[in-house]
Amino acid sequence: MRVVPLLFYAAAAAAYAGHFAWRDARVGRLATGLLGGGLLAHTFLIGMQTVQAGHAPLVGTTAAVSAFVWLLGLAYLYVELTSDERSMGLFVSILLVTLAIIPALDGTVSPRPPVLQSPLFTIHVLSMLFAYASFALAGVLGVTYVLLFKEIKAKHLGFFYARLPPLRVLDVMNGRAVAVGWVFLTAGVAIGGFWATQVQGSPDPRAQAMSVLDPKILIAIISWLVYSFALLARRTLGWSGRRAAWLSALGFVIVLLNFVPVGYFFTKSHNF
């Protein structure tokens, strides 16, 4: 069952690739349908895991990756359905497939230890995942902005120019995605910090390791600083367009590194 969402996402990626290449509306609608099918299957899987474990499957990096993929797919599908623009689907679906491989290979639902049995933990994780999903969209928008900008600058209006929205539209969407992500990241970091003070007395060594020196927490704070600067620079320095695109792409690289390799191998406080 856990591989079904991955298969749907892979089929959607293939369909989005076909739509991106041929601009066929029927292929685009097929891609949207396949993505929707993948999200339904993923929702059913998360529901089954919740019933099995007795709590939302948010414990551990693998569960967080699964939830992130689900939220990113939902966020992108909402953007697509409200804007009727499918050109980002190829890039988003490739990211979905790449990350969905992780939970497809390991469907184990980790039990929730006593230290995590708090509503603050759930709110903290969901806030961070919503932020990461928004930043993923911003990262994709940033990359596509740069690709289109380079094509226009070289005066070779062809492949990307015919398939991507105008630079202004990409820039506006990028700014909105970063702003939404920043709000959730701020909430997640603040709630996480407050929750950490509540569990400092726990005998669990992972709770005792929660400090700004832990790589997972430190890089989360660095991410907040990067995106705070991106918002401030856009408003006060006029850093829109290409500069904003590069900042959003850089920020998501930091987020992704913190999310997967640091979450699995380097943190002492978030390795539940």
Instruction: Say what the pLDDT of residue 208 is.
Output: 73
Instruction: Say what the pLDDT of residue 48 is.
Output: 92
Instruction: Say what the pLDDT of residue 212 is.
Output: 85
Interatomic CA distance for residues 65 and 175, integer angstroms: 24
Rounded alpha-carbon distances, angstroms, from residue 227 to 9, 196, 269: 29, 23, 24
Run means of pLDDT, 10 residues per run, the chain, 272 residues:
93 97 93 97 94 86 93 95 91 96 86 84 94 96 94 82 91 96 97 86 76 89 96 94 95 92 81 62
Instruction: Say what the pLDDT of residue 272 is.
Output: 56
Report domain extents, the chain.
1-112, 113-272
Instruction: Say what the pLDDT of residue 111 is.
Output: 83
If DSSP states are collapsed to H, E and C, what string results for the chain? CCCHHHHHHHHHHHHHHHHHHHCCHHHHHHHHHHHHHHHHHHHHHHHHHHHHHCCCCCCCHHHHHHHHHHHHHHHHHHHHHHHCCCCCHHHHHHHHHHHHHHHHHCCCCCCCCHHHCCHHHHHHHHHHHHHHHHHHHHHHHHHHHHHHHHHHHCCCCCCCCCCCCCHHHHHHHHHHHHHHHHHHHHHHHHHHHHHHHHCCCCCCHHHHCCCCCCHHHHHHHHHHHHHHHHHHHHHHHCCCHHHHHHHHHHHHHHHHHHHHHHHHHHCCCCCC
